[in-house]
A = this chain, B = another copy of it.
Amino acid sequence: MRQVVECVANFSEGQRVDVIDQIVNAIDDVWGVTVLGSESDVDHNRTVVSFAGKPDGIVEAAFEGIRRASELINLDVHRGQHPRLGATDVVPFIPIEGVTMADCVKLARQLGQRVGEELQIPVYLYEQAATRTDRQNLADVRRGEYEVLKQTITTDPDRQPDFGPTQLGTAGATIIGARYALIAFNVYLTTDNIDVAKKIAQAIRHSSGGLRYVKALGLLVDGRAQVSMNLTNYKETPIHRVVEMIRIEAQRYGVGIESSELIGLIPQDALLDAAAWYLQMDNYQPDKVLEHRLQRLMS
């Protein structure tokens, strides 16, 4: 059975191309790991590198990226619009194929231990790998950023890291964890009234009483009202439920769904599950998909 884990590492450098290249190369040089993409933002002064591979390789590649970033990025002089704790800021592992979330939590702990011990960088475990409920949410872990943490890590027991020393060097601290693949997804409405999009966003998002794993905003894009979303756990809050809830809320205002759009990639099973739901295919299982059966038999 093939095992594939994705890792989406966030580095606090979005301007110096040579630094970014060295970090990306450190990751790409690890055998069995493939860099899927790298996006830098100059204003955020931050680069997001996606890579995938087998469980062993992915930990090694993440470690090499963190090591290189710690040598090249100095948080004392880093400035950018995006909040950050360290040279390598956030490193989540994402289960893709043949691995469970529990496997990814183990990888996060393995990596955290190595980074703490070998690089002497404080590590906080977050999301599914969190060791405390107040560390599940990334924003909570990153509160005050590098500058505040530099003081509080030495004095506040609540900021004791999961691995590594209780003091910050110039590489800051790194947040490591495991999460589900994120789906960035927009729905366009048959209206140019942004208020309708805002009301629908408010109705469906978790923060104001809606679905648990939905973040949503109402926007006006290209003259059309748009509900812009991040789905943070498509297993528990599936994409079809979100779309049909938007449809019902829109009907309330005499409005329909014109179309939807994916930003970036979507995991295959998010779409397969949606198809089975709409088609009411009660006996659907992934093993009913011809290609899955083939892959299992041919490997």
Contact = CB atoms under 8 A, between A and B. Distances in A.
Interface of A: 4, 6, 34, 36, 52-53, 96-97, 181, 187, 239-240, 243, 257-262, 264-268, 271-272, 274-276, 278-284, 288-294, 297-298
5 contacts: A4-B294, A96-B291, A240-B278, A260-B280, A268-B272
A258 B278 CA distance: 12
A239 B266 CA distance: 21
Contacts of A279: 239-240, 243, 260, 271, 274
Contact of A265 (B34, B267, B282, B290): B290
A265 B278 contact: no
A256 B8 CA distance: 44
A298 B34 contact: yes
Contact of A288 (B6, B96, B265, B283): B265
A267 B290 CA distance: 5
B275 A262 contact: no
Q: Which 8 A-B pairs have the closest CB atoms?
A: A271-B275, A274-B275, A275-B275, A278-B278, A259-B282, A265-B290, A268-B291, A261-B283
A292 B291 CA distance: 12
Contact of A290 (B257, B266, B272, B276): B266
Contact of A293 (B265, B275, B281): B265
Nearest to A273: B275
A283 B268 contact: no
A57 B243 CA distance: 44
A262 B243 contact: no
B294 A52 contact: yes
A36 B282 contact: no
B289 A265 contact: yes
Nearest to A97: B291
Contact of A266 (B34, B268, B274, B289): B289
Given A34-B297, A291-B97, A262 B284 contact: yes
A291 to B, nearest CB: 5
A4 B291 CA distance: 9
Contact of A289 (B52, B271, B278): B271
Contacts of A268: 268, 272, 289-292
A278 B281 contact: no
